[in-house]
Amino acid sequence: MYSFGSGVLLGTRNDILNGTPINFGSVQEVTIEETATIKELYGQYQRPIAAARGTIKTTGKAKLARISGLAFANLFYGVNPVAGQVATSFAEVGAVGSTSPYTNTVANSGSFVGDEGVVYAATGLPLVKVASTPSVGQYSVVSGVYTFSSGDAGKTVFTSYLYTVGNSGTKVSVANQLLGTTPTFQAVFYTSYQGQAISLQLNNCTSTKLSFQTKLEDFVMPEFDFSCFADAAGNVMTWSFGEAS
């Protein structure tokens, strides 16, 4: 039989009750690797006279074109995402007031979280943050209201900051958990070509690496690595083939 394409990869937490199956989505590559250690017995000859297989390590890797906060949170960190998000406003255009108190209030001041810097629109040079009473080239900020020097009155600035959005998106808060905290999941891989299917069920897995990389003029494709081990019954995996060959 033959196989074509990247297939489908699903993961379901099995260390909690009623784990929700998660489709990794837009899978680009899936690699399942079985690596066995071999112990060879040598005598006076160049070649081994006996060989025995020792431990076997089963690992998997998936490259994904879909960014899934649910998969990140549930399968790697072992937590659940919550509603709302911390959003970023980058280089929001604003103008310093032309009269006292020489302020600029950002668009999302009501849900302001934190300042990420101010630059002059004309030159791109950054202003310096101070606690209060700014001089030329400086600013202070309280609750999304930016205050500047009278010497910067009327100037256009680009402001970057964080703010909360409560009615869309999700967020995942990651705590420093105790050693030994190990979220586990069952993984199912499936692919089909010309009516001939291959499926692989991995009974127990835990993620070993989550990689998130960006590249100029390309899509972000997170990588999700995992290691597989036996379940309570001593079973590791089940291969199923649509053709007996």
Residue 2, pLDDT score: 87
Q: What is the DSSP secondary structure assignment for residue 195, as one 8-state letter?
A: T
Per-residue pLDDT at 243 exceeds 90: no
Per-residue pLDDT at 1 exceeds 90: no
Residues in the chain: 245
* Residue 111 near residue 143 (C-beta atoms within 8 A): no
Q: What is the DSSP secondary structure assignment for residue 66, as one 8-state letter?
A: S
Q: What is the pTM of this model?
A: 0.85
Going from the C-alpha of 163 to that of each of 67, 78, 139, the distances in angstroms are 21, 26, 19
Which residue, among 203, 186, 195, has the nearest Cα to 238 in the 3D structure?
203
Query: Among residues of the chain, what percentage have pLDDT more than 70?
Result: 100
Mean pLDDT rounded to a whole number for the chain: 95
Tokens of 108: 């999302």
Burial of 51 (0-12, 13-18, 19+ CB in 10 A): exposed
| Maximum alpha-carbon separation in the chain | 95
* Residue 172 near residue 81 (C-beta atoms within 8 A): yes
Q: Is the dihedral of CA 13, 234, 237, 37 positive or negative?
A: positive
pLDDT tens figures, 77-122:
999 999 999 999 999 999 999 999 999 999 999 999 999 999 999 9
Which residue, among 96, 88, 85, has the nearest Cα to 145 in the 3D structure?
96
* Residue 70 near residue 81 (C-beta atoms within 8 A): yes
Which residue, among 15, 57, 60, has the nearest Cα to 201 in the 3D structure?
60
Residue 244, pLDDT score: 74
Average pLDDT over residues 212-232: 95
pLDDT tens figures, 47-71:
999 999 999 999 999 999 999 999 9
Q: What is the rounded CA–CA span in Å between residue 69 and residue 74?
A: 8
pLDDT grade for 220, boundaries at 50, 70 and 90: very high
Q: Is the dihedral of CA 15, 169, 220, 119 positive or negative?
A: negative
pLDDT tens figures, 151-164:
999 999 999 999 99
Residue 75, pLDDT score: 94
Q: Is the dihedral of CA 161, 167, 169, 171 positive or negative?
A: positive
pLDDT grade for 145, boundaries at 50, 70 and 90: very high
pLDDT grade for 41, boundaries at 50, 70 and 90: very high
Q: Give the phi and the psi of residue 17 in degrees, each rounded to 5.
A: -80, 140
Mark residue 176 as left, alpha or beta (left: phi above 0; alpha: psi -120 to 50; beta: remaining). Answer: beta
Residue with tokens 């400086």, as numbered in its chain: 138
Which residue, among 77, 68, 55, has the nearest Cα to 27 in the 3D structure?
68
